[in-house]
Structure 1
């Protein structure tokens, strides 16, 4: 159950406006996840991830790795 929640949060952060270069705080990451899920819903977040991997596979992987690590830290 926790793994699925982390996956949904990771998708939401990936789909959000937050950029790694901003060096976001845990508070900003949690707020971005909440806002993105509220705006798009979990299914649309997953669709955005899939679309980005299809259109920009060269950059999507790096963003996904960053998002996963950021979620693990922000929600530890």
Structure 2
């Protein structure tokens, strides 16, 4: 099952001003995603992504690959550092 939140984050990073050549740090990626969501909302991000794929598909594919890989790396690191969860009592 695809991770909808990760896809939305990748779209927000895709339409942000952050460039792949900058090799942004995790904090910069999280900030860019949050600021882009605040500015455009998830639907606005998706609309901008669609426009870029329509206008510049050859560039958009590479940028989306970068955005997906970057979001996966940044947010999976964050989950790994979180405290382990315990099982729900109802499922014990």
TM-score with structure 2 setting the length: 0.80
Root-mean-square deviation over aligned CA pairs: 1.2
Deviating above 3 A after TM superposition, structure 1's stretches of 4 or more consecutive aligned residues are none
Structure 2 unaligned regions, length at least 5: 77-92
Q: Distance in 1 between matches of 2:50 and 2:43?
A: 11
Residue 12 (structure 1) aligned with residue 12 (structure 2): yes
Q: Distance in 1 between matches of 2:49 and 2:66?
A: 13
More RCO (CA 8 Å, sep 6+): 1
Structure 1 unaligned regions, length at least 5: none
TM-score with structure 1 setting the length: 0.96
Q: Which residue of 2 aligns with 1:3?
A: 3
Residues 54 and 2 (structure 1 numbering): CA distance in 2 closer, same or farther, change over 3 Å? closer
Greater share of helix residues, 1 or 2?
1
The alignment of Structure 1 onto Structure 2 pairs a total of residues equal to 76
Q: Distance in 2 between matches of 1:58 and 1:15?
A: 16
Which protein shows a greater Rg?
2
